[in-house]
Amino acid sequence: MRRCVALICAIGALAAAPAVHAAGNPQIAGLQVALRAHGLYLSQIDGIAGPKTAAAVHAFQRKHGLPFGVANARFRAALGPLGRPLFGTRILKRGDFGWDASVLQFLLTRRGVYSGALDGYMGRETTIALRRYQRAMHLEADAVVGPRTLSAIVRRDAVPIRVRPVAARHTSVHAVRAGDTLTALAARYHTTVAALAAMNRIDPARPIVIGQRLRLPAAAPSLTPQRVDVRSMLDQWSGRLGVDHHLVRALAWMESGFQTEIISSAGARGVLQTLPATRRYVERVLAGRLIPQSVDGDIEVGVLYLRHLLQAFRGDERLALAGWYQGERAVRKHGLYHVTKPFVANVLALRSRM
């Protein structure tokens, strides 16, 4: 008999939080964005701790040898730069990158003032949207989430910003039968021997006894993607074209947050947000053929163009990324624009985590 997975993500302190809108808990949206960066959460960023979020959390915990059921500071540290800081724990301003920026973007999207990527980066589009929100709330439109703006957001959207960690509920118990071992049970219930031993306070080196009742972690359902596996596609084209896949992942994340359907106001589209003019250049000059207007095709165009920039700047990743952001000719003529430097720095910082 199937059991429903109950995910209580103790994100720093989400237990004693105020009531959250039915549309979802914004702090959970920050978790979903971070898990998407690791290629584990492929569904809609909705702030709802449902089965797919639970599955992604458990998959991440298994991969990193973390205890099941608690998304605490150690868990968030393992997520990398998108795993912290929690929304409400710092003054948030342009150029910042992290969990709190993802939460803000989710909130601004829900309020209808932001339509860009949920990528955790406080770039130009996010700060413009924040100013719109602040004006609507009769606040100083300084594009900074300081005490007054934070207070308004918490009041209006019931964002939990103080909580205590809470472990996930145990949803089932197994009565030990003849032939059972901790190893076999761990495989059957998609957990680890260490997790079972810790949960039941037993010595994993000692045999279990027939009739003994063992508590089991909430079963994680299989993670069925609702969207294409962007991370795998990026890696495929990186390998095929000889570009560092960590750099490609980081760039794609900064451009779209691995979202496939974004089209910017300038007409840039897809995971790597390439402009129509860039696509035409890639097709006519670099590829010598038309490339399909698809997720796969958009990624191919982007990676081909990035490879070109890396070759043009003799492998200098900083200049290549600047060329991506402001144009190859502009970099050669003017160097890096002031607005380009934070973008380049954030991509390179994220590269080691992707």
Q: What is the pLDDT of residue 190?
A: 62
User: What gap in Å lies between CA 122 and CA 133, rounded to an integer?
Assistant: 15
Q: Express as a percent the part of the chain with pLDDT over 90.
A: 34
Is residue 323 in some structural domain?
A: yes
Give the end-to-end CA distance of the chain in Å, rounded to a whole number.
Answer: 38
| H or E element at residue 247 | helix 245-256
**Percent helix, strand and coil across the chain, each to the nearest 5:** 50, 5, 50
What does the pLDDT read at residue 314? 95
In angstroms, the CA 279 to CA 300 distance is 10
The whole-number pLDDT of residue 218 equals 54
- Are residues 286 and 188 both part of a single domain? no
The answer as to whether 95 is a domain residue is yes
CATH of the domain at 210: 3.10.350.10
- Return the pLDDT at 146: 84
Q: What is the domain range of residue 49?
A: 26-157
pLDDT band at 18; cut points 50, 70, 90: very low
Confidence (pLDDT) at 69: 62
Residue 320 is predicted with a pLDDT of 96
Strands 213-216 and 172-175: antiparallel
User: pLDDT: is 286 or 80 the higher one?
Assistant: 286
- 234 and 183 fall within a common domain: no
Q: What CATH number is given to the structural domain containing 310? A: 1.10.530.10
Residue with the bigger pLDDT between 92 and 169: it is 92
Question: Domain check: are 212 and 238 in the same one?
Answer: no
Q: What is the 3-state secondary structure (H, E, C) of 306-347?
A: HHHHHHHCCCCHHHHHHHHHHCHHHHHHHCCCCCHHHHHHHH
Over the chain, what is the mean pLDDT?
81
pLDDT surpasses 60 at 319: yes
- CB count, 10 Å around CB of 186? 19
Condensed to tens digits (0 to 9), the pLDDT of residues 202-252 reads: 877 778 888 888 887 654 333 333 356 888 899 999 999 999 999 999 898
Dist. CA 194–CA 177, nearest whole Å: 20
Long-range CB contacts for residues 64-70, cutoff 8 Å, separation at least 24: 67/195, 67/198, 68/168, 68/191, 68/195, 68/199, 68/217, 68/218, 69/8, 69/167, 69/168, 69/217, 69/218, 70/10, 70/165, 70/166, 70/167, 70/168
17 pLDDT higher than 50: no
Residue 244 resides in a domain:
yes
> Comparing C-alpha atoms, which of 275, 231, 239 is closest to residue 257?
231
- Give the chain's domain count: 3
Share of the chain above pLDDT 70, in %: 82
199 vs 117, more confident: 117
Predicted confidence band of residue 164 (pLDDT cuts 50, 70, 90)? very low
> With contact defined as beta carbons under 8 Å apart, do 119 and 105 qualify?
yes
Residue 170 has pLDDT above 50, yes or no: no
Least confident of 127-131, 244-248, 258-262: 258-262
Cis peptide before 147 (omega within 30 of 0): no
Which residue from 166, 169, 2, 27 is spatially nearest to 88, judged by alpha carbons?
27
Same domain, yes or no: 282 and 315 = yes
Q: Is the predicted pLDDT of residue 165 greater than 70, yes or no?
A: no
CA–CA distance, 279 with 298 (Å, rounded to integer): 8
- Tell me whether residue 249 is in a domain: yes
Whether residue 9 lies inside any domain: the answer is no
Look at residue 223 in the predicted model and tell me its pLDDT.
Answer: 34
